[in-house]
Amino acid sequence: MGFHKGAPTPHNEAKPGDFARTVLMPGDPLRAKFIAETYLTDAVCVNQVRGMLGYTGTYHGKKISVMGSGMGMASMGIYSYELFAFYGVENIIRIGTAGAGSSDIKIMDVILADKAYANSNYAFIQHGFSGNCLPASKELNDLIIQTAADTNLNLVVGPVCSGDVFYREDVPSEPPAYMSEVKALEMESFALFCNAKALGKKATCMVTVTDNKWTGEELSPEARATHLGNMFRLALESGIQM
């Protein structure tokens, strides 16, 4: 696909071999920096192009990488595609923040996506896929679910919805039927799952709920940067087993 055939790329200065087989991808590159500096040993910054920071280090002696994806499906689509296609990455776990998809979801709940819905043409343009739902990797999810059980971390498993629009005008419309089962609202997973499907790779998504429109609760920007440790540790503990 496209004109580019190898690493480095126009968006990533890392050299072949700089990334581990498994990459954790928060949206915010500064969150990637925080994870690398807080949890990884001997972390090396392997990409700084456009400020989209990427690091590789070790966790409990196992090589693992973390890199920002940016916001939205277009940005996730570029960075995850390049990691899969040009850097030999086999597994990507999106680790992000999200809004509650229903009134019973609580602030700080960790949601593991089993599939992602979207009203988006990303998958059709990228892969010719005309559906509105793509699955996460069952293999990765089974491992994460078992790791969560082993560490007594409560995990909510269910669908997420990836949106193209963050700020939306109040246009009257009926929500799609699938919204009744959605656990979290975010903006990247559908594109990530599409790229994994297109390239024969594995991907999943974990998000921590930071706001609930039904209750009006929300975490501050400062808390979002520092209160996501349960999700980070679960992703790291699972990632080094992949």
Domains and CATH numbers, the chain: 22-239 (3.40.50.1580)
For β-strands 184-186 and 156-162, DSSP reports them as: parallel
Residue identified by tokens 């390239």 is 199
* Separation between Cα atoms, residue 213 and residue 116, nearest integer Å: 20
Higher-confidence position of 168 and 18: 18
| 2-16, 86-100, 158-172, 217-231 — most confident range | 86-100
Average pLDDT, integer, range 115-122: 95
* Separation between Cα atoms, residue 43 and residue 126, nearest integer Å: 33
Spatial CB neighbours of 30, under 8 Å, sequence gap ≥ 6: 53, 68, 225
Tell me what pLDDT residue 7 has: 86
Average pLDDT, integer, range 112-117: 98
Identify the CA nearest to 75 among candidates 179, 183, 195. 195
pLDDT band at 3 (very low <50, low <70, confident <90, very high): low
Q: What number of other Cβ atoms are within 10 A of residue 215's Cβ? A: 12
Q: Which residues are catalytic?
A: 211
Is residue 1 over pLDDT 60?
no
* Separation between Cα atoms, residue 132 and residue 123, nearest integer Å: 8
Identify the CA nearest to 126 among candidates 176, 50, 190. 190
Q: Are 114 and 184 in contact (CB under 8 A)?
A: no
